[in-house]
A = this chain, B = another copy of it.
Amino acid sequence: MKQFFTFLLLGLISISLVNCAKEQDKTNASTTEEIPFAIVIHGGAGIIKKEFISPEKEKEITNKLQESLDAGYAILNIGGTSLDAVQAAINVMENSPLFNAGKGAVFNSNGKNEMDASIMEGKTLNAGAVAGVQNIKNPINLARLVMDSINHVMLSGKGAELFAKKHHIKFEEDVYFYTERRWNSLMKVKEKKGEKLPIKNANNLSTNYVDDHKYGTVGAVAIDKNGNIAAATSTGGMTNKKFNRIGDSPIIGAGTYANNNTCGVSSTGTGEYFIRTLAAHETSNIVQYKNLSLKNALHEVIFNQIAPLGGDGGMIGLDKKGVVAWDFNTEGMYRGYKRSIGENVVKLYGE
């Protein structure tokens, strides 16, 4: 009988030790299982095919995308916010002539650069946007300022520029935004349409230039160590655009959306279709209400909603667990991501 109790006691002790070890495991797991922070970016979708891009240009674009990723990642890595990370990543692309945003923005019908940008914070659903601004070096910084400093979400045109001046946002002269390539794009579109050419004389038209006037928007989505998601988009819009057209990039829910409960998304493509389908918000709602993965939700929106209307483009995003996804129905999309679990990817073409 005594022996029986000894066994019983040993049994109970060992069970409780096992349970204790299990609890310990859980604690360890939750300590080591930090939220994997991550950033994903795009530099526009379109007719991006290997045969159209020289090896030198390919390297240049790849390096710039990597620089953008690194800039955002560095902020996340030291515990910075996803808002700061997406802004830093976009600044790199806005400061490069390679993308249709900031310095490399395309020309509107009057030969001017007219830019849109938006940013959104998934924790608070705060958002800021600017539409049709000229001579602003980094439109995404102005969108961020709108979000942070006034109770409006969206400012536009001369009013947004006045607001920028009051807050000492950096302006640049027209010449800063001039790129031969974008000017030639404008000339080609105008010549094709038989429209009057703007003041600057158009020589040296590169006839082999790929007509990417609809594409090239830049975007970034990040999740930080606190699990907060942010998304942002910046663009020069469409070459030869008229009538102060506003595309999807500055429209919360179309070009940009972030929600800590679901995901963050940034869009690029023929903006009107992304507005009509509320592409970024629709993606988030499909994740939330249909319980689809972000990857499947993006595919659903691009291929079953945007494409049937005649639209094309792509979207990037990441979900609340830091899982990255993208999709596009164009030939290619400049894109990349970097995650704290050691992944680093940059791609340009369809694959």
Measuring CB to CB, which residues of chain A are less than 8 angstroms from any residue of chain B? 120, 125-127, 131-132, 150-160, 162-163, 242-247, 251-254, 257, 271-272, 275-278, 281-282, 285-286, 289-290, 309
Contact = CB atoms under 8 A, between A and B. Distances in A.
A156 B127 contact: no
B246 A154 contact: yes
Contact of A156 (B157, B162, B271): B157
Given A162-B243, A243-B160, A285-B289, A275 B155 contact: no
Contact of A253 (B156, B159, B244, B281): B281
A245 B154 contact: yes
Number of copies: 2
A114 B162 CA distance: 17
Given A253-B253, A253-B254, A285-B285, A243 B155 contact: yes
A153 B272 contact: yes
Contacts of A120: 276
Nearest to A280: B278
Given A125-B277, A159-B244, A162-B243, A272 B132 contact: no
Nearest to A120: B276
Say what secondary structure dominates the interface of chain A. mixed
Given A154-B251, A163-B243, A251-B253, 19 more contacts: A120-B276, A125-B277, A127-B275, A127-B276, A153-B272, A154-B245, A154-B247, A156-B156, A156-B157, A156-B246, A157-B244, A163-B242, A251-B252, A252-B278, A253-B278, A257-B278, A281-B281, A281-B282, A285-B289
B281 A152 contact: no
A196 to B, nearest CB: 15
A155 B253 contact: no
Contacts of A125: 276-277, 309
Contact of A275 (B132, B153, B286, B289): B153
B155 A245 contact: yes
A275 B129 CA distance: 11
Contacts of A156: 131-132, 156-157, 244-246
Contacts of A289: 285-286, 289-290
A163 B156 CA distance: 18
A159 B277 contact: no
Nearest to A253: B278
Nearest to A271: B153
A131 B242 CA distance: 14
Nearest to A251: B251
Contacts of A285: 282, 285, 289
A39 B276 CA distance: 23
Contact of A276 (B245, B252, B286): B252
A111 to B, nearest CB: 14
Contacts of A163: 242-243
B151 A132 contact: no
